[in-house]
Structure 1
Amino acid sequence: MKLLMLGGTEFVGRAIVEAALARGWEVTVFHRGRHAPPEGVRSLRGDRTTGPDGLAALAEGSWDAVVDTWSAAPSAVRDAARLLAGRAGRYAYVSSRSVYAWPPAAGLAEDGPLVEGSPDAGDVPYAEAKRGGELAVTAAFGADRTLLVRAGLIIGPYENVGRLPWWLGRIARGGPVLAPGPADLPIQYVDARDLAEWTLDAVAAGLSGPYNLVSPPGHTTMGELLDACVRVTGADAELRWTAPEALLAAGAEPWSELPVWLPPGEMYDAMHTADVSRALAAGLRCRPAAETVADTWAWLASLGGVAPRRPDRPEVGLSAAREAEMLAKLTADGWTGRNRPDLPEPG
């Protein structure tokens, strides 16, 4: 297979490139040159943010498939798709479950209502950008040659958003750790490497249309994820499980201050209850959470413990001072300080 990867030097794109190389595929990477691509690829340089002229390096060549992870202006996806439509067999666009109209119902499948979007849009909010990208690819390649990978939360090695790296770094420091409960709350995510393998399998099989891509319900829980962080770091950390209502009353910000975690309710249903039966039927396989955590920790260690960060994303995680303040208050109020999340809560 001849693969053209638009991007391919960071996180999801890099995982896809490495998976394709491991299969013996011929890989071309089109990128801006900010990061070195993996060894073994043909490298083309350009900048999609400058309009069609930035795609000059793609004026010639043909490929069996294109994979694109772009998440900014849909017009950049439109320009690339139009340019490549006659010289590439299929186009896989790594989209997002954010394209579903808010609030997405619990257990939503791929036929749920969608946000509005335009393939001609410039800078728009994330959900509209991803939906516009979907429309742009479909318009250029047709529905039968377009694969829409609607990912949820993505973690694993090369993560440059900082969610799992923050938990690993925090737990590695040891001491009491504010752990958002309940510990048995199921969570959904996809390891970037599992997304990569599934996407390449789907492209090779000629699949088309939208697929929700996260782990199946019950794959893991918040407790299993953080317990794995404790084990792999070998830290003297004590997880202080705290009830959702207490955390919210104390002003904790789900998702941003406590990455991955959302309390039961509308936002939790939107992020952690996706119907992924279509992707499972098409061969989705998700590695154990412990493996994702261990490999991410090993990758962080290879970088000296400091993960790269995307400049367009805000920092995540509680500051040390704020965590200490919240732990002191919640412990004094009797809400936390216990390692038994199944015990009755105060009040």
Structure 2
Amino acid sequence: MDVCVIGGSRYFGRRLIEELRDAGAAVTVVNRGSSPPPRGVTRLRADRDDEAALRAALAGRSFDAVVDQVCYTPQQAAIAARVFADRTRRYLLTSTVEVYAELGRPGGPALAEQALDLSAWPVDLELPWSEEHFRAENYGEGKRQAEALLTREAPFEVATVRTAHVLGGGDFTGRLAHYVERIGNGLPVAVHAAPQGASFVHEPEIARFLAWAVAADFTGPVNAASHGTLDATELCAAIGHAAGLAPALVVGAGDDLSPFSFERCYAMDTGRAERLGFRFSSVGDWLPLLLQETRAGLEARAAVEEARR
């Protein structure tokens, strides 16, 4: 296959590129050139928000499939629908569990794809999507509108992969490290009074799933998550067990809350992915080793910082 990946310079995007390349695909990465691609991968430099520059970079190119790792707004989706109109037959949008943010409820069931009906979801291209703060504050809504626009207007097949919270060694967000560091240092972790369960997925596994989905023929949304959910207290307990420590939990509010403490259920139903032929692992299969790796990484970083003093 000839596959184009938009973005993909870090975290599981880079793993995805390597998965595709190692499976024999010809991979082209389109990004702003912030970091070099893996060996054997073609890179085209363009800002995906600049429609003219994107068209120029892609001149004369077509692909069997496109994977969009960095589409956060309906404006970006609209540009993609126009630019790739005659360049691909299949478009895979990496979306997020955050599209379900307002649908989960305390003690509620895991959410399946049909819980969110985007057939008539309003799309507003006039909102200030280009403003970084606005985009960050409306991340879930931006993804919902991007999904809705592509699903309704794109002239090619569209599949959207709604990823659970991704955990892995390359996590630039530092969310898991927040827990491991605080518990390792005996510091309190702030959680809701009744934190709700959430779905997670391992970094290598979401890359494998996306690579699998590129060659599949389904369309529409599909959830991607490991089996089993964790609420913030269960995550802290797992970290404490791995470190031989008892976590100190406190009830917090607002900005004091730790990053994976939720007041609504963030569990995802992965039945559709399994019916399509992909079997996810369980959180317990990979979390213990990841916690060891995270703790070792923090200790190595602390040693380097100490050596610099």
Is this a same-fold pair by TM over 0.5? yes
Q: Which runs of 5+ in 1 are unaligned?
A: 307-347
| Correspondence for 2:114 | 111
- Equivalent residue for 2:248, pick from 230, 237, 240: 240
Whether the 8 Å CA contact 1:228–1:290 is kept in 2: the answer is no
Deviation at 1:297, TM superposition (A): 5.4
Instruction: Measure, in 2, the Cα distance between the counterparts of 1:214 and 1:153.
Output: 8
TM-score, normalising length: structure 2 = 0.77
User: CA 1:59 to 1:38, structure 2 compared with 1: closer, same or farther past 3 Å?
Assistant: same
Matched position secondary structure for 2:236:
helix
- Aligned letter for 2:246? E
| Correspondence for 2:174 | 162
| Correspondence for 1:261 | 261
| Correspondence for 1:322 | none
Instruction: Measure, in 2, the Cα distance between the counterparts of 1:225 and 1:100.
Output: 21
Whether the 8 Å CA contact 2:191–2:257 is kept in 1: the answer is no
Instruction: Measure, in 1, the Cα distance between the counterparts of 2:296 and 2:54.
Output: 36
| Correspondence for 1:41 | 41
| Correspondence for 1:339 | none
| Correspondence for 2:307 | none
Instruction: Measure, in 2, the Cα distance between the counterparts of 1:110 and 1:169.
Output: 35
Instruction: Measure, in 2, the Cα distance between the counterparts of 1:187 and 1:2.
Output: 35
- Aligned letter for 1:53? A
User: CA 1:23 to 1:230, structure 2 compared with 1: closer, same or farther past 3 Å?
Assistant: farther
Matched position secondary structure for 1:36:
coil
- Equivalent residue for 1:127, pick from 140, 143, 147: 140
| Correspondence for 2:155 | 141
Deviations 1:179-234 (A, max 9, x none): 75899974311223222212221221211111122233x355656543553466x5
User: CA 1:230 to 1:52, structure 2 compared with 1: closer, same or farther past 3 Å?
Assistant: farther
Matched position secondary structure for 2:160:
strand
RMSD: 3.3
- Aligned letter for 2:146? G
- Equivalent residue for 1:199, pick from 191, 200, 210: 210
Deviation at 1:19, TM superposition (A): 2.1
Deviation at 1:177, TM superposition (A): 4.5
TM-score, normalising length: structure 1 = 0.70
Whether the 8 Å CA contact 2:200–2:283 is kept in 1: the answer is no
Whether the 8 Å CA contact 1:11–1:192 is kept in 2: the answer is yes
Deviations 1:125-145 (A, max 9, x none): 223311222133332234xx2
| Correspondence for 1:94 | 94
Instruction: Measure, in 1, the Cα distance between the counterparts of 2:182 and 2:271.
Output: 34
Structure 1 residue runs of 4 or more that deviate by more than 6 Å after TM superposition = 181-185
Whether the 8 Å CA contact 1:9–1:38 is kept in 2: the answer is no
Deviation at 1:154, TM superposition (A): 2.0
Identity of aligned residues (%): 30
- Equivalent residue for 2:293, pick from 290, 298, 312: 298
Aligned length: 286
